[in-house]
Amino acid sequence: MQEPAHDDALVLFDRLRRDPEILASIERADSVLGALGYTDHGRRHVTLVGVNAARVLASLGFDGRAPDLAAVAGLLHDIGNVEGRDGHAAAGAELAHRLLVERDVPEDEADAIKIAIANHDEVEGGVAQTVTSAALIIADKADIHRSRVRTRNPQDFDVHDRVNYAVVRSGLDVLPHEKQIALRLVVDHAVAKSEEIAELFGSRFALAASAADYLGSTFAVEMNGKELR
């Protein structure tokens, strides 16, 4: 896992990722998705998303509280799955806000995280409207990797399992001078073709591109060295 730039500033994130109730909420939500047959949305996923969301903002020069709030949004963004997959972004926004207020997080910061979580999912009509929400979207949509697949038996794969399993390496590069954010994937074409990944995740990539634009950058997806057009 790539560490965030300026990780010493992620005070709230570091506190909450060790909070037993927060961790239990993440695990409960992930267990619901596991029972429904979804890929990993547990501690690995949300920690990586938080780290990368913070890194996106720090690398682009956003300082102050912005990277820490983005990291917390990443940590909490999927807890709404405890109520089921449908509407999980809206449900998670409310749950996260309550957990944050209970921990004496200032109201404006709790609201910023709530807005980001409510807008992270393309199915629910999410859209980047703050730097926190933009960073969360990009980091969440970038987590495509075989480690998210719960089963190693190809006969049990659904289409999401198969395309995630095909990705053997995934990296999110932030290039501030070029004003570009690049998702670089190494794909095992014996498992799935790049075209299949592009088709399945097209709406996610489009949302990430709009989020990058909000941050004044472009978003590129590269598979085996070839940029997706």
**CATH (domain of 31):** 1.10.3210.10
Is residue 44 in a domain?
yes
Q: What is the pLDDT of residue 1?
A: 34
pTM, two decimals, is: 0.94
pLDDT band at 9 (very low <50, low <70, confident <90, very high): confident
CA Rg value for the chain: 17
CA distance 76 to 99: 10
User: 172 lies in which domain range?
Assistant: 7-227
Token pair 């980091």 in the structure block, residue = 139
Is residue 1 in a domain?
no
**Hey, how many other C-beta atoms are within 10 angstroms of the C-beta on 37?**
12
**Mean pLDDT over residues 21-29, rounded?**
98
Q: What is the pLDDT of residue 229?
A: 78
**Mean pLDDT over residues 208-229, rounded?**
96
What is the enclosing helix (H) or strand (E) of 109? Answer: helix 107-118
Is residue 182 in a domain?
yes
Is residue 2 in a domain?
no
| Tokens of residue 95, six digits | 């749950």
**Mean pLDDT over residues 100-126, rounded?**
97
Domain count, the chain: 1
**Mean pLDDT over residues 184-212, rounded?**
97
Q: Is 7 helix (H, G, I), strand (E, B) or coil?
A: helix
Closest by CA position to 116, among listed 95, 89, 143, 84: 89
CA distance 97 to 178: 35
